[in-house]
Every structure is written in C-alpha cells, then in structure tokens.
Structure 1
Amino acid sequence: MDMIKRIPTHMDYVGQGRAEKLYQIIIVLFGAVGLVWGYTIQQFSQTVYILGAGLLLASLLTIPPWGIYRSKPLKWQDARNENDVSDGKSKKKK
C-alpha cells in the first residue's frame, strides 16, 4: 500500500501546457495523414483508424504524469499563522 502512495499523480503548470501542446500536435498530424491516406485509397474507415491510433498515442504520452511534466513545480508561500490577520505588508508610521 505504501508503494502505491509513492506513485506521482500530478503535473505542474508548465507540464500541463506541454502535454496540451503535444496532444494537439499529435492529433492534428494523425488527422491530416489519415485524411490524405483515406482520400488516396478512397476509404474513410482508414482515416478513422489512423485518427484513432493518433488519439491512443497522444493519450499514452500525455495523460500519465511522466517526469517531463513534473520538472518545474511551483514554489508555494509558507503558511501564515492562524492568528495572523495582517495582509503581510508592513506599515510605516510618520
């Protein structure tokens, strides 16, 4: 059970952008190739199969949180004391 909890399940913000861009590139590329190939052999089913293969490939490359999607984690601020109600700015007296 402890081994399962150590599996990373998150992506950082930059990684989400990378995954989205890669996903779009793969889908458009496979869609274009499928369209050209399907038109060439006059089989729309081949277009759908090629696009489906692109969808499967894109999903395998972008849905799991691979290491390339977790390389720039955000630096969070330290938590404030529960009793601290200030806005964090110091006020100067004149």
Structure 2
Amino acid sequence: MDFFNSIPTHMDYEGQAKAEKFYRVIITLFGVVGIVWGYIIQQFSQTIFILAAGAILAVLISVPPWPMYRKHPLNWQKPRGDSGDNANASKKKKK
C-alpha cells in the first residue's frame, strides 16, 4: 500500500499549461496529416485511424504526471496553529 501512496499524482500550474499545449499541438498535427493522407488515398477511415493514433499519443504524453510537469511546485503556507480563543470564537459564530 505504501508503494501506491509514494507515486506522485500532481502537476503544477505550469505543467498543466505545458500538457495542454502538447495535447493541442499533437491533435492538430495528426488531424491535418490524417486529412491530407486520407484525401490523397481517398480513404476516410485512414483519416480516423491517424487521428485516433494522435489522440492516444496525446493522452499518453499529457495525462500522466510526468516529471517534466512537476518542475515548479507551489510553496504553500504553513498552517497556523489553533489557539483556544480562535477555536471557541469560531464555534460560537457557527451557532
């Protein structure tokens, strides 16, 4: 169970932008190549196969949190300790 908890599952914001850019470029390139190749050989099915291959490649590159998408981690603030006064005041406000 510890093995699965040790696998990183996050991306930073810059990594998300990079993954989306890769996804769009790959899908666009494979779409254009598929349309051109399908037009040349007059087979629409070849266009679909090429586009599907591009979609699979794009998913494999952009969905997993590869290390290249985790280079700029966020610096989170440390949590504040609860003092007795703040905890009691927040409980009174909820009532």
- TM-score, normalised to structure 2, is 0.84
Pairs aligned (count)? 85
Corresponding residue for residue 89 of structure 1? none
Q: Does 2:79 correspond to 1:79?
A: yes
Corresponding residue for residue 22 of structure 2? 22
Q: Does 2:27 correspond to 1:33?
A: no
Corresponding residue for residue 92 of structure 1? none
Residue 77 of structure 1 aligns to a residue in which SS? coil
After superposing on structure 2, the runs of 4+ consecutive aligned residues of structure 1 that deviate more than 4 Å are: none
Gaps of 5+ in 2: 87-95
Corresponding residue for residue 51 of structure 1? 51
User: Aligned-residue CA RMSD in angstroms?
Assistant: 1.3
- Higher-helix-fraction structure: 2
C-alpha distance in 2 between matches for 1:48 and 1:26: 15
- Cα distance, 1:27 vs. partner? 0.1
